[in-house]
Amino acid sequence: MIRAQRPSPTSLLFCSLSEARLLRQRCIVRRSYPLSGITRIAAAKMGGSADVLTSPPAQAVIGDPESLAKKKAAIRELGPAKLQVIADFDGTLTRYWIDGCRGQTSHGLLQQSDPVYDAKRQALYEYYHPLEYSPTIPIDEKTKLMEEWWDKTHSLLIEGGLTYNDIQKSVSNANIAFRDGVVELFEFLEEKGVPVLVFSAGLADIIEEVFRQKLHRSFKNIKIVSNRMVFDNGRLVAFKGKTIHVLNKNEHALDMAAPVHEQLGEGNGSNGDNMSVKKRTNVLLLGDHTGDLGMSDGLNYENRIAIGFLNNNVEESLKTYSEAFDVVFTNDGSMHGVLQLVSQLCSDT
């Protein structure tokens, strides 16, 4: 599937500090409404029939109700023991709008105080970002270029003296929040023993700090699949393992997974169950971009229900999203609709 030509959230990690501050200052006035309760209404026409669930102004659009019903029945038959959840982080687990302002991404909130390294990261962004979306570069060559970009940027973070204290301050000052219903969803999945893999081409340590500061609790079933830092006396000195970038953010990177609760002070987790996760062949995938559908590419799944969060440009993109995803939540809706679906998938009746 062709990815839409828009700046990837991951690219915000590599923008300059001045650019990040400018993004924070551009607060667009927008009224937000919680998606509380979902009511089925008549089908809508979008180049074909679609079943719509609505609680104004957010909607949950089902492009092919019959296909979704078959997938739900197949997943429910095998039960929670065969189910896993794969979720993007920014704009999926987190809100797109916060109090009328565009929420920050975990990638864009990082602040470094050294303007020299800020300028160097900006130079890398200006060079590599157009290459990421070039339609003429073969995928193998583009993959190497993305690896170069990420590796060089990681090196600059080390050379610039990034500290864990910088990360903590950045998250504390950031305009970032989880969607309503995320905690309830995580609690339900933990109770049912369903693992959650949170995929990101950004930095695991930032995501974990967002969990720590914004949720104030841990979940033993959640793993972060992202680039992980190594600190010595609070200072960044290296990165662990293979680099995860925008073109390999899938279950091929599962070896990079680490339970988030270990990072939150509960050291009773283990990475030894990665193979058992791969044997869970029913998948609920959550993303906010059609490119996120590739997160399950490394898994030989039997059934997959893909949930898409269409946060912006709804009229222009709804048809594309409704064809790509089984269910599309529009207008920055809550996670309550996903919780409702998961409850059905894990039901015995």
How far apart CA 334 and CA 184 sit, in angstroms, is 11
Q: Are 251 and 299 in contact (CB under 8 A)?
A: yes
Catalytic residue among 51, 64, 90, 288: 90
Which parts of 106-205 are beta strand (E)? 196-203
DSSP code per residue over 294-336: GGGTTS--SEEEEEEEE-S-HHHHHHHHHHHSSEEEETT--SH
For the chain, list the strands marked E by DSSP.
39-45, 49-55, 58-62, 83-88, 97-98, 101-102, 196-203, 222-232, 235-240, 258-259, 282-287, 303-310, 327-330
Residue 227 to residues 15, 160, 242, 244, 265: CA-CA distances in angstroms?
18, 18, 8, 6, 19
Q: Quote the DSSP letter at residue 71.
A: H
What's the rounded Cα separation, in Å, for the pair 349 and 341?
14
> Is residue 90 flagged as an active site residue?
yes
Three-state secondary structure call for residue 165: helix
- Residue 211 · residue 94 · CB < 8 Å: no
DSSP 5-17: SS--GGGGGGS-H
Residue 316: how many other CB atoms lie within 10 Å: 10
* Catalytic (active site) residue 326: no
What is the residue whose two structure tokens read 């109700």? 65
Amino acid making up residue 219: F
329 contacts 337 by C-beta, under 8 angstroms = yes
Q: Which residues contact 73 (CB under 8 A, 6 or more apart)?
A: none
Question: What are the backbone angles phi and psi of residue 295, rounded to the nearest 5°?
Answer: -65, -25
Say which of 51, 88, 118, 166 is annotated catalytic.
88
- Active-site positions? 88, 90
